[in-house]
Amino acid sequence: MDILSLFVVAPIITVAALLFTKNLQQSRVVALIGSLVQFGMSINLIFAYLAERATGNTSIMVFTKSVVWFKSLNIRYDIGADGITVFMIILASLVVLAGVFISWKIKDLPKEFFISLIVLATGVYGFFISLDLFLMFLFFEVAVIPMYLLIGIWGSGPKEKSAMKLTIMLMGASALLLVGLLGLYFYSSPDGNYTFNILEIAKVNIPAQVQHYLFPVVFIGFAVIGALFPFHTWSPSGHASAPTAVSMLHAGVLMKLGGYGVFRVAMYLLPIGAKEWSWFFIILSVIGVVYGALSAIKQTDLKYINAYSSVSHLGLVLFALLMLNKTAWNGAILQSLSHGFMTALFFALIGMIYERAHTRDVRELGGLLKVIPFISVIYVIAGLASLGLPGFSGFVAEMTIFVGAFQNVDIFHRVATILGVTVIVITAVYILRVVGMMLMGPLKKEEYRDFPKATWYEKTGIFLMLIPIIIIGTTPLWISDIIMESIKPFIERML
């Protein structure tokens, strides 16, 4: 079994083992073991990757494996990894692990919960490692569907509606995506040897006329899950209704599929289309960036605030991708990672607060620093990280994006970039508003005094998210260099 396929196999084995568990104790232990194994594998993967590169392997993808699946259509089980993949997998495995910890006390149908969670993880891993568009699409949908159950069964509030909205919108987006992928397939070869393999399609020059039509289709198809304005509306309500671990996975990992897909498929395979359309999508993404942040200011539900913040932050990812240079792209990947950890951390904390206070309304909370100091302090740290404080990942990512975006000289890009930069102020406003209202100030209600302190599993979950944020924030060089190396082929395509 090769090192990447394990990422599909291990979760499946975990799911199989979960099927035989009887109660919460058993299932959470099995889920924990499974996710620990996945995490270990992902750490192993980065070392293996570095070792592989150290041997002088300069091919675009390493650890590739190709198994014929549907021979007549040339659909293959093609997998491979580059630096970007490796980091995305680490992100996913960490968030899943933290999610298991955060869900340590899940009450209703624990077995099913963990199964859905792990199935989602399978989809995500699979998506990241696939080099075959069919495979990618398959895993994409595998990742999306468990969300319906996860939100619908274990969620809160108008959960059925939110779950339905989320699923239908994402599946609707995949309608576009499917058309785009089929288009790529049928233009992948002039002589009928069609292929879904990304690397092979990249060798073909798809006519500009075709790219002109295919690019927006593929881009929107992926970008909807990356919360592109105005298709972001599934995300706030979905977040708000989802249980904690699901919000984490959803914002932390699932939404990353969008940016990743845009980069890996739309940008890489359709460079001419990307150049042609970038202005249009830059406008949308800048609107998303500013709009998300401004919308977040006025929200009162913690999860809504965070969801809009995600719209803003992920808007920045798309924005950076559309800047079409390596610095901005590097920033986009860093921002994906950084946002993944930060939002997951945020949602974990919000979940903990909600569990104690049974409300997420900031107006009803206040002075929490006194009663749950640990959670509150981490919330402040997460907030500071989110508003781009140096020393945390957000800063590194945002600065890389802005510097990258500034490499485009013309006035349109300049104006867009400067509009995008304003988000650092707006973010500060809504983050500090929450920190000020909820954590600081006098204690709002007396009964808050009895809040239980953070438990060990909650703390573990928190640290799993916090540590990477700090690592990226303080020592970004090695990470960004690995990413930069992996971006080279994309740059070559674009030129």
Partner 1 sequence: MNFSYTILIPLIPLFVFLFVGILHTKLTPKIAGSIGVLGLSTTTLLSLYTAYKYFFEVGKVGEVYQTFIGAKTTWINFTDTLHIDMGVLLDPISIMMLVVVSFISLMVHIYSLGYMKGEAGFNRYYAFLSLFTFSMYGLVIATNIFQMYIFWELVGVSSFLLIGYYYDKPSAVAAAKKAFIVTRFADLGFLIGILILSYYAGTFDFQTLNDPQGAIILNGIGGSFMGLSVLTWALILMFMGGAGKSAMFPLHIWLPDAMEGPTPVSALIHAATMVVAGVYLVARMFPLYYFIDGGFVLQIVAYVGAFTALFAAIIACTQNDIKRVLAFSTMSQIGYMMLALGVSGYDGHEGLGYMASMFHLFTHAMFKALLFLGAGSVIHAVHSNLMKDMGGLRKYMPITNITFLIAALSISGFPFTSGFFSKDEILAAAFEQNKLLYFVGLFVAGLTAFYMFRIYFSIFWGKDRDYKHAPHESPLTMTIPLILLAILSIAPGYIHFSDFISADRTSFVAHLDFPLAITAVVTGLIGILVAFVFYKKESNIPERATKAFGAIYTWAYHKFYIDELYLFVTKKIIFNVVSASFAWFDKKVIDDGMIGIGNATINSSDKIKKLQSGKFQDYATWFVVGAIALVLYFLYKN
Partner 2 sequence: MNLEMFLKMQNELLLVGLLLAVLIGEIITSQKSKVKLINVTIIGFALVTLIGFIYQPTQGSIFGGMFRTNALIQLLKNGLNVGVLIILMQSAGWLKESLVPQKKSAEFFMLMFSSVIGLNFMISSGDFLMFYVALELSTLPVAALASYNAYKRQSAEAGIKLILSATLASGLALFGISFLYGATGALYFDDMANLLQMSNLTILGLVFFFAGLSFKVSLVPFHFWTADVYEGSPINVTSYLSVISKGAAVFIMMFILFNVFKAFTSIWQPMLYGVAIATMFVGNLFALRQQNLKRFLAFSSVAQAGFMLLGILNGGVLGATSVVYFVLVYMFSNLGAFGVVQAISHKTGKENMKDYEGLYRTNPLLSLIMMLGLFSLAGIPPVAGFFGKFFLFTAAAGKGYYILVFIAVVNATISLYYYLKVIRAMFLRVSDNPIPYFKNDIFMKLGLASAAAGILVLGLYSPLFEYVQSISNLIFN
Tell me, what amino acid is at 451?
A: F
* Helix runs in 207-301, H state only: 208-223, 234-241, 244-249, 256-261, 268-269, 271-298
Residues lying near partner 1 in the complex (CB under 8 A) are found at: 165, 168-169, 230-234, 236-237, 291, 294-295, 297-299, 308, 325-327, 330, 367, 369-370, 384, 387-391, 395-396, 399-400, 402-404, 406-407, 417-418, 421-422, 424-425, 428-429, 432-433, 436, 439-443, 476-477, 480-481, 484
Q: Which two three-digit tokens encode residue 144?
A: 């999306």
Report the nearest approach of partner 2 to the CB of residue 52 (Å).
29
Find which of partner 2, partner 1, none residue 178 binds, CB within 5 to 8 Å per kind: partner 2
One of 145, 204, 399, 491 touching partner 2 (CB under 8 A): 145
Residue number, 298 or 449, with CB nearest to partner 1? 298
- Nearest residue to 120 (alpha-carbon basis) of 101, 148, 91: 148
Residue number, 207 or 390, with CB nearest to partner 1? 390
Find which of partner 1, partner 2, none residue 17 binds, CB within 5 to 8 Å per kind: none
Find which of partner 1, partner 2, none residue 443 binds, CB within 5 to 8 Å per kind: partner 1
Q: Which two three-digit tokens encode residue 86?
A: 């490796």
Task: Tell me what percent of the chain is helix, strand and coil, each rounded to the nearest 5.
Answer: 75, 5, 20
Q: Which of residues 384-403 bind partner 2 (CB under 8 A)?
A: none
Helix (H) or strand (E) run with residue 56 in it:
none
Contact between 147 and 254 under an 8 Å Cβ cutoff? The reply is yes
Residue number, 229 or 346, with CB nearest to partner 1? 229
**Cβ partners under 8 Å of residue 220, min gap 6:** 173, 176, 228, 231
CB atoms within 10 A of CB 99: 31
One of 6, 17, 179, 399 touching partner 2 (CB under 8 A): 179
Please work out the total of residues on this chain that contact partner 2, with binding judged by CB under 8 A. 33
Find which of partner 2, partner 1, none residue 19 binds, CB within 5 to 8 Å per kind: none
Length of the chain measured in residues: 495
- In the three-class reduction of DSSP (H, G, I as helix; E, B as strand; rest coil), residue 64 is classed as strand
- Nearest residue to 38 (alpha-carbon basis) of 58, 8, 70, 68: 8
Residue number, 73 or 377, with CB nearest to partner 2? 73
Q: Which of residues 72-101 bind partner 2 (CB under 8 A)?
A: 72-73
Residue number, 183 or 394, with CB nearest to partner 2? 183
- Nearest residue to 8 (alpha-carbon basis) of 131, 141, 128, 160: 128
Binding site for partner 2 (CB under 8 A): 69-73, 134, 137-139, 141-142, 145, 148-149, 152-153, 159-160, 163-164, 167-168, 171-172, 174-176, 178-179, 182-183, 185-186
